[in-house]
Amino acid sequence: MTAVAQPAAEAPLLDVRGLTAELSLEEGPVRAVDGVSFSVPPGGTLGVVGESGCGKSLTALSVLRLAPQPPVRVVGGEVLFQGRDLLRLSEAELRRVRGRHAAMVFQEPMTSLNPVFTVGEQIGEGVRLHLGASRSQARERAVEMLRQVGIPAPGERVDAYPHQLSGGMRQRVMIAMALACDPALLIADEPTTALDVTIQAQILDLLKRLQAERRMAVMLITHDLGVVAESCDAVVVMYAGRVVERAPVRELFSRPAHPYTAGLLRSIPSLQLAVGEGSAGSRRRLQAIPGMVPSLRKLPSGCAFRDRCDRALEVCARVVPPLEPKRGGQSAACHNPVPAP
């Protein structure tokens, strides 16, 4: 009997392996990104979550080599994008990748947009550079991109300066700039942080719609697990510069393996918490994770989370837990993972 050949698994669009970056301080270098590994398939969405200072944004910047050097220096790992290691490319080769094949949306558009150029000029710059468009073609593309991201009267707004637009419109302009050359990968670093809740929802819906239309992969950096639940296929949880859990989004929310992930999920407000369940005495309170994220200058020995963990063992103070498969499609860096419910 002839065996039926199984289709080969689709290769990741982005495959990050052991990415390590140091941050130069007066006391000496510290590992701000320590052996981070993850992958993003074509058309997929990966969420990267964790508290402020855990290394999320620096990881994203290091992937495209956008972190300022100094004080940041990538010292190890591979960043394979469409089969090429971005860490080994020359600056000229990398410029041909950035904007054209991989693009980034930053969390604060007012510091990313140039105040002395119109938004149309800034959107069109990448089109002229990467696609060889004329000035008039670049302007037409800018108007079309403003229309696609939902900015009203795009033929007029194309000549506006950043300060003449609202915060939500500026973020839409950033998305238009990033997508003007139809990249295969979009890295969005806290794209809704400075916006009110209504505008946040609009921006996230816009990103999902554009992703579906273009079959674009998205790496979403956020501290909001609610956004991850709605938008992502898989999740990477970071703590003190390391990946502590990696899982499909449904698995992570239904049965977290790492105590830090479980703590993050317990701290999410819910409708039941807001209105109460039954009598006032039966209402649950939010459970905050005790303590603070440790300084990279003074990380504890062993597991960096052990001082805040209610499942810590003696071994946690001696041995840094490796990221290992635990169950299903999950991996966790923990000596004493949370048991499955």
pLDDT 10s digits, 220-247: 999 888 889 988 999 999 999 999 999 9
Asked if the peptide bond before residue 321 counts as cis, ω within 30 degrees of 0, the response is no
pLDDT for 4? 46
pLDDT for 289? 86
Cβ-Cβ contacts under 8 Å for 249 (sequence gap 6 or more): 47, 228, 229, 232, 233, 234, 235
Note whether 149 and 172 are within 8 A (CB). Answer: yes
Note whether 142 and 180 are within 8 A (CB). Answer: yes
Q: Hey, what domains does the chain have and what are their CATH numbers?
A: 14-239 (3.40.50.300)
pLDDT for 280? 46
Q: In angstroms, rounded to a whole number, what is the distance separating the alpha carbons of residues 8 and 131?
A: 33
User: Which spans in the chain are helix H?
Assistant: 56-63, 91-97, 109-112, 119-131, 135-148, 154-157, 167-179, 197-214, 225-231, 249-254, 259-266, 271-275
Angle at which helix 119-131 crosses helix 167-179, to 10 degrees, equals: 10
Cβ-Cβ contacts under 8 Å for 169 (sequence gap 6 or more): 151, 157
Q: In angstroms, rounded to a whole number, what is the distance separating the alpha carbons of residues 255 and 258?
A: 9
Q: In angstroms, rounded to a whole number, what is the distance separating the alpha carbons of residues 165 and 173?
A: 9
**Residue 1 in this model has a pLDDT that exceeds 50:** no
What six digits make up the tokens of 270? 């819910």
pLDDT 10s digits, 284-321: 566 788 888 888 888 999 999 999 999 999 999 999 99
Q: In angstroms, rounded to a whole number, what is the distance separating the alpha carbons of residues 211 and 16?
A: 21
Q: How many CA atoms lie within 13 Å of 289's alpha carbon, on the beta-carbon side?
A: 22
Residue the block writes with tokens 């449904």: 250
The strand pairing partners of 197, in sequence order, are none
**How many separate helices (H) and strands (E) can be counted in the chain?**
12, 12
- Alpha carbon 169 to its chain centroid, in Å, reads 21
Work out whether strand 14-25 and strand 72-81 pair parallel, antiparallel, or are unpaired.
antiparallel
State mean pLDDT over 171-184: 93
Q: In angstroms, rounded to a whole number, what is the distance separating the alpha carbons of residues 322 and 18?
A: 12
Identify the DSSP state of 249.
Answer: H
pLDDT 10s digits, 252-291: 999 999 999 999 998 877 644 444 444 444 455 667 888 8
| Residue 94 Cα distances to 66, 102, 248, 310, 321, angstroms | 10, 10, 31, 45, 34
pLDDT 10s digits, 44-98: 999 999 988 899 999 999 999 999 888 999 999 999 999 999 999 999 999 999 9
- Alpha carbon 78 to its chain centroid, in Å, reads 18
What six digits make up the tokens of 68? 């300022």
pLDDT 10s digits, 105-117: 987 777 789 999 9
The DSSP secondary structure of 45-91, one letter per residue, reads EEEEE-STTSSHHHHHHHHTT-S-TTTEEEEEEEEEETTEEGGGS-H
